[in-house]
Structure 1
Amino acid sequence: MNKANPFPNLMRMFFYEWLVEQRNASIHTVRSYRDTWRLFLRFAAQRAKKKVARITLADLTAGEVAAFLRYTEHGRGGTIGTRNCRLAAIRSFFNFVATREPASIAQCVDVLNIPVKRAPVSEPCYLEPAEVAAILAQPDHSSLEGMRDHALLSFLYNSGARIQEALDLCPDMIRFDSPSCVRLTGKGRKERICPLWPETVLLLKKLLERKPRAPDQRLFVNRYGEPLSASGVRFKLAGYVKEAAETVSSLQTKHVTPHSFRHATAVHLVSAGVDVTVIRSWLGHVSLDTTNHYAKANLETKRQALEQVSLPATAVQPPSWKRDTSLLAWLDTL
């Protein structure tokens, strides 16, 4: 290790030995951490008036990390969630450094003590069934691209999958025979099985007939046969939502993303009376508290619950303590 500046070797060991080999982190985690450190190093280098290659571990103080987090949230217009994700990536590195560089443990502790910022918990924005139907009606089913988009959006709504889970879908992950289902790999490499509607299975079969794929190849690809990106799906969806909003006006005030279909799946399952523990397994939630959040969001469910509660009967006589004159007389003496 370079005694003068151990930071480059520490960074290499963190990504290759710690994240990949020891932690077996997913490619998405590695890329997220990579992007965080790319931004952080550029930020620190600019403030220190150095080139990135000249940055040392001593330059990356807790104060510098705090300044970067403020820049992430206010300078770049990021959300509190984005700020906390950046902090998680930086914390992970300094937690690793603390085991490799005992002389820097005080600096590591200062960084690890930077708190996660709490954000207000808002009700999830979800799509009503009519809004989902309007969006699904927009793709041109006669074209390969439209068939692909319709199948993808239908799959998102059926499975409640996260966008990257859907984009990673390969034919060998799907059981086409009855009972049809799909095997998804979510956060933390946790696998789950989701049932598929016959209509969704038919759409996926037709897409494979039109665009055959090997069992281990991605199902949703662009015109060049390359896997779709999440940003590409968001761009296409925005166009479909704009078209659907011409007939369903409520869509004009909603910010619809691929994740909105996941919210819709959760809320509609709650409306159908499905037990929350089943919904948690369906969506791959780690905590039941996350699933319960959707139970609070459905106004129709709240209305139905309210209708089942009758108003309390009006009392026809005063309570017993008011009728007891001896008790009232004793209270008057106090």
Structure 2
Amino acid sequence: MKIETDFGKYVTLFFTQYLVGERGVSPHTLRSYSDTFNLFYDFMSLVRSVPAHKVRLKDVTHQTIKDFLFWLEKEKNNLVSTRNIRLAAIKSFSCFMQYYDTMHVGQWQAILAIKQKKIDRDAFLYLTTEGMALLLSQIPTDTRDGRRHLAILAFLYDSGARASELVNLKPSDIFFEIPAHATLFGKGRKRRIVPLQDKLCAIVKKYMEDWDLDTADTSNRPLFMNKNGRKLTTTGLAYIISLYASPARVLRPDLIPGKLSPHSFRHSKAMHLLQSGVNIIYVRDILGHVSMKTTEIYARADSKQKREALENAYQDLIPKASTDGVWESDQELKKWLRSLGR
């Protein structure tokens, strides 16, 4: 078999031998990389008219990757930060291929030379407290699905969790005894504890009762699920946000930006904490930032600091809980990639 027809084979080796076997990457990294290659296959099929099982190594050129990155931003509406994450995955594969495809090392080095796009670190989308309250108030609490959506979005905001942290939560990670808290597992499997306010606890408890997640038998199941009872995905989380952002935007377009993401909830929580006078060290710990420089972005974004105390951060934003050979076909390739790290 000629090496230039072996793209699917080497993608498989990259995931199974290199990422898992040699580097031992986290499940989160594995999922992120698999999503990147699924998107690349979509690009090759939709834009280049090359189905996944016919993509060859020689097709993966410097220009192809640049076009792929442009497509991610313009057609898939990816943020620059997301575009850079996809590029990092492609670069990791290119680095791996330098050792397997030595006859074409220049091809892979050309991809490695593609620069990360500069991010305006002080520019990000977040909601004001009024905007967050408006969005959450759109969620009905008189239906089982509505209470599920409220639990998901209220938890996303109040905990400051990353999307990947939220979808990987289990009922056993939630502790309702005083002081109530949740255990999150972030980047690099780092563990952190975040406090949960009483109102959120009531919402999550009701949701767990609705979905029979409050028993010992279900303690290790996914905490947040889709309407079919399967584990919620980050894509599903983004969809739920869009369901309620749209009607809220109609009511007050000045309060609801046009491109909200799960990370916008995290940005919003950080800004609201700082605006309420919470020490930036505490904000760093709640968000799980390794570097203080990351947290300082929020301090630079808004100068209205020094209000009374931590309690002022927990305004009445959340409604009360209601009392009621895997590379031989497109589908096989993509199904296998989606399974990685899940």
Deviation track 1:247-285 (CA, whole Å, cap 9, x = no partner) reads 656325554433222112101111232222221221122
The 10-residue stretch of structure 1 (212-221 or 120-129) with the greater mean CA deviation from structure 2:
120-129
| 1:126 counterpart SS class | coil
> Are the structure 2 counterparts of residues 269 and 187 from structure 1 closer, same or farther at C-alpha, using a change threshold of 3 Å?
same
* Alignment-derived partner of residue 206 in structure 1: 206
Structure 1 position 20 matched with structure 2 position 20? yes
Match of 2:287 in 1: 283
Aligned residue type for 1:262: R
Letter of the structure 2 residue corresponding to residue 189 of structure 1? R
Contact 2:277–2:305 (Cα < 8 Å) also in 1: no
Q: Are the structure 2 counterparts of residues 111 and 279 from structure 1 closer, same or farther at C-alpha, using a change threshold of 3 Å?
A: same
Structure 2 CA distance, aligned partners of 1:88 and 1:276?
Answer: 30
- Given that 2:61 and 2:107 are in contact with CA atoms closer than 8 Å, whether structure 1 keeps it comes out as yes
What is the CA distance between 1:238 and its match in structure 2? 3.1
Secondary structure at 2:92's aligned position in 1?
Answer: helix
SS at match of 2:140: coil
Which of 261, 265, 272 does residue 265 from structure 2 map onto?
A: 261
Q: Work out the CA distance in 1 between the residues paired with 2:47 and 2:242.
A: 38
- Aligned partners of 2:222, 2:57: CA distance in 1, in Å? 41
TM-score by length of 1: 0.77
Point out where structure 2 has 5 or more consecutive residues left out of the alignment.
309-342
Aligned to 1:293: 297
Contact 1:5 1:56 in 2 (8 A): yes
Q: What secondary structure is seen at the aligned counterpart in 2 of 1:193?
A: strand
Question: What residue in structure 1 maps to residue 326 of structure 2?
Answer: none
- Residues in 2 aligned to 1:113 and 1:4: alpha-carbon distance in whole angstroms: 21
Q: Which of 274, 277, 282 is residue 278 of structure 2 equivalent to?
A: 274
* Distance change (3 Å), C-alpha of 1:160 and 1:106: same
Residue identity opposite 2:61 in structure 1: T
Q: 1:249 to 1:102 in 2, by over 3 A?
A: closer
Identify unmatched segments of 5+ residues in structure 1: 305-334
Secondary structure class of the residue paired with 1:300: coil
- For 1:300 and 1:239, locate their aligned partners in 2 and report how far apart those are by CA, in whole Å: 31
What letter matches 1:86 in structure 2? R
The answer to whether the 8 A contact 1:185-1:192 is kept is yes
What CA deviation, in whole Å up to 9, does each residue of 1:43-81 have, x standing for no partner? Answer: 568998876545443443334433433444456654433
Decide whether aligned partners of structure 1 residues 80 and 101 sit closer, same or farther in structure 2, where only a CA change above 3 A counts. Answer: same
Give the percent of matched residue pairs that are identical in Structure 1 and Structure 2: 35
Question: 1:22 aligns to what SS in structure 2?
Answer: helix
Rg larger for: 1
The alignment covers a number of residue pairs equal to 304
TM-score by length of 2: 0.75
- Paired AA for residue 290 in structure 1: T
- Give the corresponding residue for 2:334: none
Compute the displacement of 1:13 (Å): 0.9
Deviation string for 1:116-159 (max 9, x for gaps)? Answer: 12133453222222322233333222321122222222211211
Matched with 1:132 is 132
Call closer, same or farther: CA 1:110–1:249 in 2, change over 3 Å: closer
Q: Which has the higher contact order (CA 8 A, sep 6+)?
A: 2
Aligned residues: CA RMSD: 3.2
